[in-house]
Amino acid sequence: MTLLLLLLACTPKSADDTSGDTADSVAQGDCPAADLFPTVTANAANSDYPDPSVQVACDGDELVVTSNDIPWFEYVALTPNELTAMSYEWRIPLDPVEAAEPIALDLLGDDAFALVGLAVNTPNEAAEPEPYGDPVYNDIVDACYGHTGGDGSYHMHAIDVECASMVAPTAGAPSPLVGFALDGYPIYGPEACLDEACTEVVTMQSGWVQTGDPTTYAWDAYAYEGSDAEDVLDQCNGRVEPDGTYAYHATATFPYVIGCYHGEVTTGGGQDTGGPPDSGGPPDTGMPPVIDCADAEPGMPCCGDGVCDGPEDVDNCPEDCS
């Protein structure tokens, strides 16, 4: 629990910050990590949908967050998919474990979640409207960088600080905590301290650069180049913070939230409704994609991803196509 206790002590707050409130189902003091989460309330503009529900608790060495994935902000429909309540349960380690090497993201669902109980997906779509294109680049997300997928689930592909945390950014101050990756490491907004005394605040930058056309296949359109500059993040879109802990930072450019896992992932994503995901494709993290079906084209998702597409058919992938 060391990491989350440290976050609790150091997470910056503004005058309007509600992050000291626990979710309604968690008694004060039951779970120190719960103090990091805001109390999510319903938006009057979303009266046609269920009220948002987020519960936070600790179970042994895990932080457990359950959510119905309904936004607290006004929902604006951008896709034909009707907003539908989900049954998410995210379990992440209270003490994240650094992986020996960066771990490729699972692009077929959520790989992080915001403090307000909304799923965060990787920066690519599925085969529609463009094959695995970058949804932010293609401008098919709302003001909070989200939209609904084929199963009606709402998810973000990038992070707006206030949408994700209910805390408005403060000029010249470090960004607040906005969420967690599934490996347990925290995600902050883009503004960060360069030293432990926070004498200088900078906007963190992604080390990924655009090399191709993000309308067709996001992970082929960007490459990680990196830099020795203090404000440039690593391949996973994170850094070692001035206090020695590791954290990710949301950025204005690809991959927007995380580019790979810095830590070991002990459980899968939060969705348990069985609906189809709306993202796919292997990230370029230096690790080869796993291609299981016959005659697969390089870079395409394959058997077992829940989507019948690309080289898959009923013969070489009955799991997805039957």
Asked if 234 and 312 sit in the same domain, the reply is: no
Of the three residues 248, 263, 278, the one that is the final residue of a domain is: 263
Asked if 254 and 315 sit in the same domain, the reply is: no
Asked if 192 and 308 sit in the same domain, the reply is: no
**Is 274 a domain residue?**
no
**Is 275 a domain residue?**
no
**Is 280 a domain residue?**
no
Of the three residues 246, 263, 280, the one that is the final residue of a domain is: 263
Q: How far apart are CA 310 and CA 87, in angstroms?
A: 29
Place of tokens 């936004």: 71
**Is 271 a domain residue?**
no
Q: What pLDDT is stored for residue 282 in this prediction? A: 37
**Is 270 a domain residue?**
no
Q: What pLDDT is stored for residue 35 in this prediction? A: 87
Q: What pLDDT is stored for residue 307 in this prediction? A: 64
Asked if 167 and 299 sit in the same domain, the reply is: no
Q: How far apart are CA 42 and CA 211, in angstroms?
A: 42
**Is 9 a domain residue?**
yes
Asked if omega into 277 is within 30° of 0 (cis), the reply is: no
Asked if 170 and 315 sit in the same domain, the reply is: no
Q: How far apart are CA 34 and CA 293, in angstroms?
A: 43
Asked if 308 and 182 sit in the same domain, the reply is: no
> Residue by residue, what is the 3-state secondary structure of the chain?
CHHHHHHHHHCCCCCCCCCCCCCCCCCCCCCHHHHHCCCCCCCHHHCCCCCCCEEEEEECCEEEEEECCCCCCCCCCCCCCCCCCCCEEEEEECCCCEEEEEECCCCCCEEEEECCCCEEECCCCCCCCCCCCCCCCCCCCCCCCEEECCCCCEEECCCCHHHHHCCCCCCCCCCCEEEEECCCCEEECCEEECCCCCCCEEECECCEEECCCCCCCHHHHEEECCCCCCCECCCCCEEECCCCCEEEECCCCCCCCCCCEEECCCCCCCECCCCCCCCCCCCCCCCCCCCCCCCCCCCCCCCCCCCCCCCCCCCCCHHHHC
Asked if 220 and 308 sit in the same domain, the reply is: no
**Is 23 a domain residue?**
yes
Q: What pLDDT is stored for residue 312 in this prediction? A: 66
Asked if 76 and 205 sit in the same domain, the reply is: yes
Q: What pLDDT is stored for residue 192 in this prediction? A: 97
pLDDT (tens, 9 = 90+) of the chain, 322 residues, equals: 444 433 433 333 333 443 333 233 223 345 877 889 999 999 999 999 999 999 999 999 999 999 999 999 999 999 889 999 999 999 999 999 999 999 998 776 899 999 999 999 999 987 665 668 899 999 999 999 999 988 899 999 999 999 999 999 999 999 999 999 999 999 999 999 999 999 999 999 999 999 999 988 899 999 999 899 999 999 999 999 999 999 999 999 999 999 999 999 987 777 543 332 333 333 333 323 334 555 554 444 556 656 665 556 777 677 767 6
**Is 182 a domain residue?**
yes
Q: What pLDDT is stored for residue 208 in this prediction? A: 97
Asked if 93 and 57 sit in the same domain, the reply is: yes
Asked if 15 and 106 sit in the same domain, the reply is: yes
CB within 8 Å of 128: residues ≥ 6 apart = none
Asked if 255 and 296 sit in the same domain, the reply is: no
Total structural domains within the chain: 2
- Burial of 174 per CB tally in 10 Å (0-12, 13-18, 19+): buried
Find the domain containing 160 and state its range.
2-263
Nearest to 239, CA basis, from 253, 228, 223, 225: 228
Asked if 299 and 259 sit in the same domain, the reply is: no
Task: Tell me the sheet residues that pair with 113.
Answer: 119, 180
- Calculate the CA 51 to chain-centre distance: 22
